[in-house]
Amino acid sequence: MSSDLVVASADLSTLRSYVLDLLVKLAYQEGNFVLSSGQESRYYINGKQVTLTAEGGLAIGRLLLSLLPSHTQAVGGLTLGADPIVTAVSVVSAYENHPLPALIIRKEAKGHGTQAYIEGPTLPLEAYVVVLEDVVTTGKSAMLAVERLRAVGYRVDTIIALVDREQGGSAFYQSQGLEFISLFSITEIQEAYILLKTS
């Protein structure tokens, strides 16, 4: 699959296989790494190697859009990992005639102008926002986005991730009363990686 035209029109099952292949070939590495959570890991997955490609972004935008609850009014996520994802979903939603604005949540308030934590259109109070994330480990990054969105009066009860590293994030979200959906588990990616290496 090598053209935007195919990615734009392929069915979702084909797209999912395509994105899994991209994650295995472009984003997944084995070695010794220290994660943003401070944990040491024998592997690293850099979602931006896929989400910032034209075809990867389009495919992920289509896949994540299909998972959103029907009453979603916007998507948001914590900078930087979520930036290309929320943008992709927003752009794809416009093509689907159901435009959803994208919100980018800063880790620190900007030091000038409005000093806001949230970039993007101002939504009505109680607007329903789904938080998107590229890779979930402990779950703390996306939770910060949830807290910032709730602080300005938006409703958030769902987090959707590209990859779940299966290191406590899902259980943490459940403990916070949040629904958590991931497109891929790290187990699935590692199994596909082994298959690729041995084929």
The CATH architecture assigned to 60-198 reads: 3-Layer(aba) Sandwich (3.40)
Would you place residue 124 in the very low, low, confident or very high pLDDT band (cuts 50, 70, 90)? very high
pLDDT tens by residue, 140-166:
999 999 999 999 999 999 999 999 999
Q: Is pLDDT above 80 for 111?
A: no
DSSP labels for 111-153? SSTT--SEESPPPPTT-BEEEEEEEESSSHHHHHHHHHHHHTT
Of 78-82, 95-99, 111-115, 147-151, give the lowest mean pLDDT range.
Answer: 111-115
Q: Average model confidence (pLDDT) for the chain?
A: 94
Domain ranges of the chain: 60-198
What are 25's two structure tokens?
A: 């070939």
pLDDT tens by residue, 49-69:
999 999 999 999 999 999 999
- Read off the DSSP letter of residue 23: I
Q: Is pLDDT above 80 for 4?
A: no
Half-sphere exposure of 141 (CA within 13 A, CB side): 24
Contacts of 159 (CB under 8 A, 6+ apart): 130, 131, 132, 133, 136, 139, 142, 146, 173, 178, 179, 180, 181
Helix (H) or strand (E) holding 28: strand 28-34
pLDDT reported for residue 1:
43
Q: Is pLDDT above 60 for 2?
A: no
Assign 196 to helix, strand or coil.
Answer: helix
Q: Helices 12-22 and 186-198 meet at what angle, rounded to 10? A: 70
Amino acid at 59: A
Of 9-18, 108-117, 118-127, 177-186, give the lowest mean pLDDT range.
Answer: 108-117
